[in-house]
Structure 1
Amino acid sequence: MKRKVFISPLFTVMLVCLLVITACTKTDSKEIKDTAIPQETKQTDTEKATAAPPKEEEKHEPVTLKLLAWHVGAHQELFDMFHEKYPWITIEVEEWGIDKAVAMQAAGEPADLVWITGLSPWLKDGMLEDLTPYIAKDPTIQNAKIIDGFLDAFKTPDDKLWAIPYTAISEWIVVNKDLLKKHGMEMPSYDWTYDDMLEMAKKATDPAANEYGISYDSLMASHFNWILPVANGHAPNLRFFNEDLSQNLLNTPEVLADMKWLQDLTTKWHVRPSDEEAAKLGWEKANNFLTGKVLFTLGADWVIPGYNELATFEWDLLPLPRGKVTQATVQLLGPISILSASKHKEEAFKWISFQFELEAQKWNVKNGSNTFVIHPEIDAEIDRTPTWKGKDTEVVKMTRTMCCNLPGPTIPDFDEFQNIDAALFESMYTNFDITSLVSRVDKFNEDTLKLRKEMGW
């Protein structure tokens, strides 16, 4: 995806300067300690008496930020870390949704922050704050070396930033190394191809032993679809979207051919079980990699704790394969916005800014997520964290800068596209005629142009 994240070396330069200054200060302090202070530089009793008193620490009124979110989970630890740094600010999670936001505002107690899925429902009533001026004056963000295109991932065509990512989750291929060894194969190189993947999946497939090369689960059959057209150069963005996200390309022969190749994993090559075969195995469309009967699956941060705890076999990571043009993966970005009715906008942006600090980035590493700030300390954290013990951490690092950020919030009528996408996902396990979706895509594209015009895009 061409929205790539700008990378500024300024933070690293400042860090080096800070170290130099610190070293010089230590040297100067030693010299002063060992050298008699000239008489004229000593402070007199009168000067001591009239010297200004030490500046008191700035006082702050307590602030409670209300975040509309669909879960808390491990984020409570991050909320606590933020509160430790800013003791006067507390974060409370409220029920998510536009109706909730409207009700809170009507009651005179508006929410401050919100996780979002789509922008258009929130923008039509002016419910979001433009974050552009906040970012411009924030030293943490301005001085961080950030992945290319990251900050602009949710920029709208009117050059406004109504939301920015607060988290980044890269996806990789997870490999059952025991099954790999059983079938006489070795881990491929990082630049392996989709053809390589298919051939390896064929070798690992043994229906008599209930073993398959490709997993039968929703992640592999949905997110995997979005990647191949980008890797093959048939769509510039994930989810089959064109350059400016104004049209979906699932109605083009090239993208349809990519979808047929993926469907053939089940219907032609049988390296992935069909619905009927999976039912006999007792497999559901949840993750079935832990059965030990699957060579390849698609992984993201939420599956890693389970693999570390429950896998009875050796597993490791690979980057997504290379297509005909490039090597791409899914970068799942969580959008966060400040509500325009918030009474604590400056404090709310402190929470957003905190996500770009090393402390918060290291927390992401510990929890299996990828990071969007590049820094030697973060790379070292990836190498030493127990999450990736014994795994190829170079894959974790290299996927941070791989295309592409997953579009969503900046697509008008995103819910309707998701309905089309759900039908495509189901087709991966059957002989469903994928071309039957073309008319729905045509209608979606027509409606999208109307909606964009109404929104001034």
Structure 2
Amino acid sequence: MKKRKAVWMLLIVVSMLVTIVAGCSQGSGGSGGAGDSGGDSGSGEKVKLRFIRWSNGPALDKEEQDKIKRFNESHPNIEVQMTLLPWDETFRKIELSLASNDPIDLFYWDVPAYAWYKKGLFKNLQPYFDRDLNMEEYNAELFEPFKFDGKNMYVAPENYQTLTLYYNKTAFDNAGLDYPNADWTWEDVLEAAKKLTIREGNRVTQYGFDATAMGTWWAWMSLSAAQGGKLVEDVHEPTKITLNTPETTAALQFLQDMIYKHKVSPDVATKDSMGLNFQTGKIAMYVGGDWDLGTLREITDFEWDMAPLPKWGEGRATPYFMGGYVMAENTKHPEEAWEFIKWTMTENQKTLANQHSWIAVHNPSREAAEMPDWVPSGYKEARFEWMKDGMIGDIYSIKWREAYDKYMVPMQDEIFINGGSVPDALAKTEREINALLQSK
């Protein structure tokens, strides 16, 4: 999920320690191919694989534990031993393990791990993909961001996550408005938000939209990208960022105006002081991750639904993210580790698809999944049709993460919290980030 704590600087410091400890002993990242077992699978003894990932809460953790249990039961020669930890602790634990002479075998991917790929600590998975997977059963073009060197897969995707427009159907019915659909533009959202904002004197009792929920770059960039804007040319090693553009200026000005000009969205202070969120029924629309579904499905006070992200004119761009598995370059059991990874991308995809917590990457499994009773009418279109206009919602390099903490967060605060000048904030932040990206 994208709910991450900002621990980048700590990770960078630890990365330096890893380089010192592991520098001379690690492989090149592309050295181990399929068939280079290096383990003891032929000894007849059960191979134990150590696997670390972060906790996502009781419900999702239960699904993870069930997945490991089912794999172990169906593979009597392999035992995956999973450790669940808080997100930031997970990456500290992984980093220290990778620096040892006996590293863990598997871990779950998130963007901080890109620094370890750069140190040659990932197994190149492309030979295994070529040997064992039928890529016609996947949207292989969506996997391209995990080809960190432009040619080879270093992370095995298990699921997608994406953004969607959520709306309060009861509020729309009360206002006599048509529901959002795939043809809606951001102007449609604004016009509906004006009619859905209810005031009693000077007090707003219902806001039409929550623009503050889009105050993070991987959300607001979708409005810029829908116009043809592009923050970086290379999501792996960007050398510059283009923020101060007509497309991004228009996108951020539009969202800021919803708060301060049109007043159809709460500002951050109002939202925090009143405890406002979609679940309270006091916000009629917001853009959020499909990972919000676990919470939203518990709503009983009103009817809600979902729709694809709105278009800007005729264009639409939908950010997506991928979760998946990394094999340590120095694992002693590469074939057994790959057996688990392969199983998560093939046999287990049917179970994953029917659970509806994550979006399965295996097309036949996803398409055959049964729809549970709780899903709203717009579920399939909003959650699955984005693939034709999907754009990766991550930038990987260490410098980008530093740039985000130092410069992008203050810029977003200036625009969304302080109501400052959008052009000025973009121009200043572009200069600052480019100076960092182009520094030695």
What is the TM-score when the length of structure 1 is the normalising length? 0.75
Of the three residues 176, 182, 195, the one matched with 1:190 is 182
For the pair 1:268 / 2:256, whether they are aligned, the reply is no
Tell me how far 1:168 sits from its aligned partner. Answer: 0.7
Q: Show the 5 A alignment for 1:208-219.
A: 208=200, 210-215=205-210, 218=213
Instruction: Report SS of the residue matched to 1:407.
Output: coil
> 1:296 and 1:106, CA in 2 relative to 1: closer, same or farther beyond 3 A?
closer
Instruction: Please give the alpha-carbon distance, in whole angstroms, between the structure 1 residues aligned to 2:44 and 2:378.
Output: 45
Instruction: Mark the structure with the bigger radius of gyration.
Output: 1
Paired AA for residue 219 in structure 2: F
The amino acid of 1:153's aligned partner reads P
Give the deviation of 1:415 after TM superposition: 1.6
Residue ranges of structure 1 left out of the alignment (5+ in a row): 1-57, 452-457
Kindly report which structure 2 residues correspond to 1:14-413, keeping only aligned pairs within 5 A, or say none: 60-71=44-55, 73=61, 74-94=63-83, 99-101=92-94, 103-104=96-97, 108-114=101-107, 115-138=109-132, 141-208=133-200, 210-215=205-210, 218=213, 223-235=218-230, 240-242=231-233, 246=238, 247-283=240-276, 288-357=277-346, 359-375=348-364, 378-381=366-369, 383-388=370-375, 392-409=379-396, 411-413=397-399
RMSD (CA atoms): 2.8
Residues 180/202 of structure 1: CA separation in 2 closer, same or farther (3 Å cut): same
The amino acid that maps onto 2:127 is P
For 2:147 and 2:325, the matched residues in 1 are separated by 12
Give the match's secondary structure for 2:97: helix
Distance 2:46 2:400 in 1: 38
Question: Match of 2:437?
Answer: 448
- Given that 1:305 and 1:387 are in contact with CA atoms closer than 8 Å, whether structure 2 keeps it comes out as no
The answer as to whether partners of 1:172 and 1:320 remain within 8 angstroms in 2 is yes
Identify unmatched segments of 5+ residues in structure 2.
Answer: 1-41
Report deviation, 1:195.
0.8
TM-score normalised over the length of structure 2: 0.78
Three-state SS of the structure 2 residue aligned to 1:93 is strand
Following TM superposition, where does structure 1 have runs of at least 4 consecutive aligned residues deviating by more than 6 angstroms?
Answer: none
Aligned residue pair count: 381
1:175 deviates by 1.1
Q: Report if the CA contact (8 A) 2:359-2:366 is conserved.
A: no
Q: In 2, Cα distance between the equivalents of 1:437 and 1:339?
A: 39
Distance 1:98 1:425, change over 3 A: same
- 2:326 partner SS: strand
Residues of 2 paired with 1:190 and 1:162: CA distance?
34
Following superposition, the deviation at residue 136 of structure 1 comes to 1.1
Report the residue type matching 1:129 in the other structure.
K
Q: 1:445 to 1:336 in 2, by over 3 A?
A: farther
